[in-house]
């Protein structure tokens, strides 16, 4: 038995919210769920810019009491920190790189310095707040070099890392300037966690190429250290989400959608606006559905909810414009006075409304070009009516495809393939829909977010 209740310290770029009523952010949802049971410290950026930045006071906010109390501890950043660390290196270099989009990398050595500086300062500040037994669990691509900095501040804790986004094969990773240094920084962790087996294997391949030796399926010895390198597919609280979908708020949203649909079938997409989500390709796939299978004319509507994210970055504004253009075009060409083929809104919805909207939809359309996991795929299934469930259409390039094999799997790069997959989903008879739903739901309940956290922490406790 491992020591119970070693304090959990979570590090992530954004901290909170602890209540899950808010807007987007797969990571926030999962971390809040993860901390609720066990309590602990959640450390990261306050979301505020100030001149004192990372040297300013630590803001503290304590929720609850006793063994499950959660302390939120945050630091501000300066404007320069934010622009170099967050907008620059994290989102213009690491995000595209790790999503296999080397064409979109916009590298500036000043941003790299800013990234390392912010990692160093956050790590130094955290080092003074942790005890030797605390388990430190660092989240995501903003903090690849965090453990290295903690080690320099003499932390001997067990430190784990979980990457929420994909990890590409060595040839892609090595596009990163000073990729070797980055790999060495990662070796300061004790556990490297990834979304999929494929991601973990890519990491192991990189380590082996640098002289590592695989000592078991999930362990590698390299440069004198033993690391666990393993897939921990992130999950949702499937049972609670299923319950959420039948609450009054969800029913109101469902009824509102159904009134508007007036007997038509709904296809739903829910994504932060991001090039990784393949939104223009998805819209073209829907257009192709109307072209190739004209019997759907006047009979199906596609609802895309796409709250903006990182709105300051040009790339995101461009995608939004492109989506407005395609939907305008499709609606003009195919629509009728009483039928709008594509409804596209950038307004975020409360979580309960989202659950109701999923439930009102015959097809969940999740077609990223590349995605770490994709929680929308899991939420869509969990929200379905068990007696008359809808069908998930899922990109082969979402991490979720490794687990959700009963979805209709599609290649988002082909509009014809997407159209065919939607058509298959729309045509599927009830008994097959129920069979697929039951298999998926069983998997989601068995592998929920609590199981995810426990499995990870077990590995971290060593």
Residue 151 binds ligand GDG (CB under 6 A): no
What's phi and psi for 390, nearest 5 deg?
Answer: -85, 180
- With respect to ligand GDG, which residue has the nearer C-beta, 24 or 444? 24
How far apart (Å, rounded) are the C-alpha atoms in residues 381 and 390? 8
Mark 354-383 with x for binding to ligand GDG (rule: CB under 6 A) and - for no binding.
x----------------xxxxxx--x----
Nearest to 109 by CA among 177, 157, 29: 177
Q: How far is the CB of 342 from ligand GDG (least distance, A)?
A: 17
Q: How far is the CB of 429 from ligand GDG (least distance, A)?
A: 29
Q: Where are the strands (E) in 244-347, listed by range? A: 265-270, 300-305, 342-345
Active site residues: 164, 371
Q: Where are the strands (E) in 375-455, listed by range? A: 391-395, 408-410
State both tokens at 194: 């990834």
State both tokens at 331: 């609606």
Looking at residues 200 to 239 of the shown chain, list those that interact with ligand GDG (rule: CB under 6 A).
234
What is the chain's percent helix, strand, coil content, to nearest 5? Answer: 50, 20, 30
Q: Which stretch binds ligand GDG (CB under 6 A): 153-161, 346-354, 428-436, 453-461?
A: 346-354
Residue 165 binds ligand GDG (CB under 6 A): yes
How far apart (Å, rounded) are the C-alpha atoms in residues 183 and 191? 14
> Which of 16, 26, 168, 412: binder of ligand GDG (CB under 6 A)?
26
Q: How many residues lie near ligand GDG (CB under 6 A)? A: 26
> Which of 8, 11, 15, 29: binder of ligand GDG (CB under 6 A)?
29
Residue 284 binds ligand GDG (CB under 6 A): no
Q: Which stretch binds ligand GDG (CB under 6 A): 45-53, 109-117, 320-328, 348-356?
A: 348-356
Q: How far is the CB of 156 from ligand GDG (least distance, A)?
A: 28
How far apart (Å, rounded) are the C-alpha atoms in residues 111 and 162? 23
- With respect to ligand GDG, which residue has the nearer C-beta, 335 or 390? 390
Q: How far is the CB of 310 from ligand GDG (least distance, A)?
A: 11
> Which of 349, 411, 450, 455: binder of ligand GDG (CB under 6 A)?
349
Residue 269 binds ligand GDG (CB under 6 A): no
Residue facing ligand GDG at closest CB distance = 26
CA 354 to chain centre: 17
How far apart (Å, rounded) are the C-alpha atoms in residues 82 and 118? 9
Residue 30 binds ligand GDG (CB under 6 A): yes
Q: How far is the CB of 232 from ligand GDG (least distance, A)?
A: 10
Q: What is the helix (H) or strand (E) element at residue 204, kind and residue range?
A: helix 197-209
Q: By three-state DSSP, how is residue 194 classified?
A: strand
Q: How far is the CB of 166 from ligand GDG (least distance, A)?
A: 8
Q: How far is the CB of 338 from ligand GDG (least distance, A)?
A: 27
The answer to whether 365 and 267 have CB atoms below 8 angstroms apart is yes
Mark 378-417 with x for binding to ligand GDG (rule: CB under 6 A) and - for no binding.
-x--------------------------------------
Rg, C-alpha atoms of the chain: 22
The answer to whether 277 and 308 have CB atoms below 8 angstroms apart is no
Q: Where are the strands (E) in 15-143, listed by range? A: 40-49, 59-63, 70-77, 135-139
Provide the binding-site residues for ligand GDG, judged by CB under 6 A.
23-27, 29-30, 164-165, 234, 270, 272, 305, 307, 348-351, 354, 371-376, 379
């Amino acid at each position: 038995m491992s020591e119970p209740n070693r304090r959990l310290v979570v590090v992530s770029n954004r901290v909170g919210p602890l209540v899950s009523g808010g807007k987007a952010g797969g990571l926030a949802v999962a971390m809040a769920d993860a901390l609720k049971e066990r309590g602990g410290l959640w450390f990261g950026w306050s979301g505020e810019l100030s001149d004192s930045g990372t040297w300013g006071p630590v803001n503290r906010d304590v929720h609850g009491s006793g063994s499950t109390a959660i302390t939120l501890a945050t630091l501000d950043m300066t404007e320069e920190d934010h622009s170099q660390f967050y907008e620059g290196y994290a989102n213009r270099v690491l995000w595209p790189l790790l999503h296999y989009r080397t064409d979109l990398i916009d590298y500036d050595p000043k941003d790299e310095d800013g990234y390392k500086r912010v990692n160093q300062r956050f790590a130094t500040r955290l080092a003074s707040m942790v005890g030797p037994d605390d388990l430190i669990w660092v989240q995501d691509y903003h903090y690849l070099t965090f453990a290295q900095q903690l080690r320099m501040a003499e932390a001997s804790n067990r430190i784990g890392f979980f990457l929420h986004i994909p990890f590409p094969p060595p040839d892609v990773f090595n596009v990163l300037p000073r990729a070797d240094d980055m790999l060495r920084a990662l070796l300061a962790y004790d556990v490297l966690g990834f979304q999929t087996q494929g991601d973990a294997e890519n990491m192991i391949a990189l380590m082996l190429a640098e002289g590592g030796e695989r000592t078991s399926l999930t362990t590698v010895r390299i440069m004198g250290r033993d690391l666990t390198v393993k897939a921990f597919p992130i999950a949702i609280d499937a049972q609670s989400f299923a319950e959420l979908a039948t609450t009054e708020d969800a029913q109101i949203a469902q009824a509102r959608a159904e009134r508007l649909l007036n007997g038509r079938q709904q296809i739903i997409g829910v994504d932060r606006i991001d090039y990784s989500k393949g939104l223009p390709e998805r819209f073209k796939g829907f257009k192709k559905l109307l072209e190739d299978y004209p019997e759907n004319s006047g009979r199906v509507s596609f609802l895309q909810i796409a709250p903006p994210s990182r709105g300051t970055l040009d790339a995101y504004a461009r995608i939004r414009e492109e989506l407005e253009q395609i939907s305008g075009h499709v609606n003009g060409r195919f629509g009728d006075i009483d039928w709008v083929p594509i409804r596209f809104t950038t307004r975020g919805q409360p979580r309960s409304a989202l659950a109701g909207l999923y439930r009102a939809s015959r097809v969940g359309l999740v077609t990223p070009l590349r995605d770490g996991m994709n929680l929308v795929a899991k939420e869509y299934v969990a929200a379905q009516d068990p007696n008359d469930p809808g069908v998930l259409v899922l990109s082969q390039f979402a991490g979720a495809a490794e687990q959700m094999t009963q979805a209709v799997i599609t290649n988002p790069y082909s509009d014809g393939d997407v159209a065919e997959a939607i058509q298959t989903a729309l045509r599927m008879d009830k008994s097959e829909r129920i069979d697929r739903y039951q298999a998926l739901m069983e998997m989601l309940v068995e592998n929920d977010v609590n199981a995810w956290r426990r499995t990870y922490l077990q590995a971290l406790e060593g």
